[in-house]
Structure 1
Amino acid sequence: MSKIKTDHVFTSESVGEGHPDKVCDQISDAVLDACLAGDPEARVACETAVAHDSVVNLGEITCNGWEKIDTEKIARQVVREIGYDHEDLLFWDESFNYISRIHGQSPDISQGVSRGEGLYEEQGAGDQGMMFGYASNETPELMPTPIAFSHRLLGRLTELRKNKEIGYLRPDAKSQVSVRYVKGEPKELTAVVISHQTDEVDYETIKKDLTAVCKEELNPTGLLTGRTKFYINPTGAFILGGPYADAGLTGRKIIVDTYGGVGAHGGGAFSGKDPSKVDRSAAYYARFAAKNIVAAGLAERAEIQVAYAIGVAAPLSINVDTFGTGKITDAELQKILESDEIFDFRPAAIIDQLDLKNPAGWSYQKTAVNGHFGREIFPWEQTGKAEALAHAARVKDAA
């Protein structure tokens, strides 16, 4: 059984919507949203690459009505909405060359994930691999503190940029937060790093303004101290940014997308993939299970691993680790998850329970910025299973 480290500093980063990799994630997920809107059964594996003056879409898509989907228009709209909307940025919605190299899904994969077409009657997993979900009671969103705070900072800076309260901010940005833990609990913020693209503005102004934003956002946490160090644009200037300055690819920010390096990661990216791909849907469901375990008070921290074989519906394994904080044993929690009475980890059941083919009140594009976890707008962030879990645990305990 894993134990919580006692005294240490842990650091996580987030990247803003204008970061080149995040531009790619948002375009890929916007294409996915367009496909599912016209065909909930669409099979989508859409990758995006950006560089200097180009946007390229590539991958495999099989979708009824595909001929009506204008991927170039989608890409330009996403770039414009992010804030790359004028020529001073050197890369903007009207400037780039667009290329598409998208083709249909391989029939060998399709037969494994389509009900009744492969070796098994049930819809199988879209790929082999292992996925992880994690939750911790250290923040209201049941996320690790460093990544939660990193997302909050960039979310606030994005608001200030888009409503022009800080008019010199440009779209590309990164944040990083270091947290000292004592006996497993977050006790203080040791360092905050903000690297934000700007117009040509006096550095002292940038440092003063962005430090003030960080303090205003983080003061209510009670973790700021007189020792907290702030590093604002530590190279001294960040003017050239976004795809003009750096290339980007879909799926290169998998730690930003999940738990900031806390816990394990199966290695699969999320954006641009329809929910038949368990890289995405099972990672969401594992978070759903872990969060409900913590919300039920059955553990302070929980990590769920689930593994699949391509084309096979039933998971090969489900593993639970509560890091020594569980109110019942990890083995007992594992049996509850494996029973299918509260959670069902088969791909079709995951898609049905979370309604992943028909997003309502959310979109896949919204997942592509500020993390896929920790925001209540997503169905896998709901805690409606907590009461049933608590009841099942009481029955186990009584037995």
Structure 2
Amino acid sequence: MSYPHRLERLRAWLEAYRIDGLLISQPESRYYLSGYTGHDLPPRDSAGYLLITASQAMLLTDPRTAEQASNESPDFEVITYASGSRGPQAAAERAAQVGIRRLGFESIHLPYAIWEEIRRDLPASIEFVPVARLVDELRVIKDAAELAELQAAVDVLDRCLADVLQRIEPGLTERHVARMVELYLIEHADGPSFPSIVASGPNASVPHAVPSDRGIGQGEPLKIDIGARVNGYCSDMTRTVCLGQPRDARLVELHALVLEAQREAERQVRPGMTGREGDALAREVIRRAGYGEAFTHGLGHGIGLEVHEPPWLSPSRGDDALRAGMVFSVEPGVYLPGWGGVRIEDLVVLETDGARVLCRSPKELSVGLPRGAQRSAGSGSGAASSILAGGVRES
């Protein structure tokens, strides 16, 4: 879908929201509508704003990024505000100049202090109206070009995980493994889409654990949640594995349970279900096994230009109906403080007849140990030292 087509779709919604202009501040929405990749330094320094009316499309930025904006966004009039002046003031002045009466803004993104600046500089005759979901409604259904970018981001993540699992040894720290992931993605993609989660043993009970200096042991849960970014689009995948054979029957039980819950949701989710109903497909499997209280988060989230975006498959905010063309995660988990946890996550695209899984990485629990790992299993410092600063093992 072309940027002009996206603008046409946006403009069709302006009347429904009873606004005659929309100010876009969120970088992902700005890119979606214009192709401009300017990098913000939030919350104070924006790389630019879009101001869109029924007949005009303007991109306001400063001299540092004006040439970039002109090259990347030929469908927009690029307006350069003077170096040292403020973008919020320029947006207010331009809104007044083009005769906007009701100016919408992205209420999910615009910081209050920036809102105050714009409101102060707008004429009193212009209403400044919060708009919660207009651009989200456009972005939530992925077009063919977006699906291709998302699949590319998933594919490189599959290759990354395969590469890392071939090189993990007992004794390497969580932090080392996270570094291996991120170096691979810097070289083969546009980098990670979020900080990698690598959590072993009891640390795996924290859903969004921060990698630590804990050495990874044989036979214990190892949760790896990673994401890549390709041309602005994000991927996200989790696998729970153990090095060698599990030393705890509970790990085998929980891995099988979480995998069953995921497969049930991926088989049964359909357009027209609410996000809450989609969540319940997996949650009921886990509840029946007696671990309902240990599944502490929603089943899934949308993904695209943001790692977490609508729709939501969740008991708490899954009111909206799922529609064909949405891309979201399916990631049941069970977390037991003091023991560890298991999560398995795929990305799927919802089609008219059900979900199509985008991830191809295997889901087996046990992964083979690299040659020599048995010898190093009892000497974590030796294994850890085999990872160089560049993240490549010595041969």
TM range (shorter): under 0.3
TM-score, length basis structure 1:
0.21
TM-score, length basis structure 2:
0.21
Higher relative contact order (CA 8 A, sep 6+): 1
